[in-house]
Amino acid sequence: MKNEMRLNFAAISENEIFARICASAFVLPLDPKVNDVTDIKTAVSEAVTNAIIHGYADADSDDKFVNMVCRYEDDTLYIEISDNGCGIEDIQLAKKPLYTSKPELERSGMGFTVMEAFMDDIEVISEKGKGTTVKMTKKLKL
């Protein structure tokens, strides 16, 4: 079975719950295991939060949107979360466990670590001043 959905929403923290619930609802036709749903929700929450608090940290405009594409083919789920924000200068550093560019916000620096642990594969594409795209894949236990 093949399916796809695209979502574009304002980069505000209220939409973190909206995004993860949409992603989990999208996989429901596959009758996924509870653990897999939790993993997907958590990984989406991390990526969307990063877009909101890091991608658009210094942006003044009202045109701050996060884009989410979810797609599955048989038992494999692909999720892409992108922003048009400031981009990540050093992706390796950003991925380092416990590293945070915003310690004053009580951030744990575990966002990418959680995405890596809960999904099978994660790819980060980023360009300074242009934005960031996080691509994640997970094979569901159906």
Partner 1 sequence: MKISFEISDKTLIVKIAGEIDHHTACEVKEAVNEQYTANNCKDIIFDLNGLVFMDSAGIGMLIGRYKQANMNGGEVYAEGISPEIERIFCLSGLNKIIKRCEITDSTEKDSDRKGVLN
Name the packing angle between helices 15-27 and 34-50 (round to 10°). Answer: 140
**Choice between 68 and 130, CB closer to partner 1:** 68
Cα separation, 95 vs 83, whole angstroms: 17
Give contact residues for partner 1 (rule: CB under 8 A): 13-14, 16-17, 20, 34-35, 38, 41-42, 45-46, 49, 52-53, 105-111, 113-114, 117
Nearest distance from residue 14's CB to partner 1, in Å? 6
Nearest distance from residue 115's CB to partner 1, in Å? 9
Report the Cα–Cα distance between both ends of the chain, in Å, rounded.
13
**Choice between 72 and 112, CB closer to partner 1:** 112
- Tokens representing 14 are 């209220």
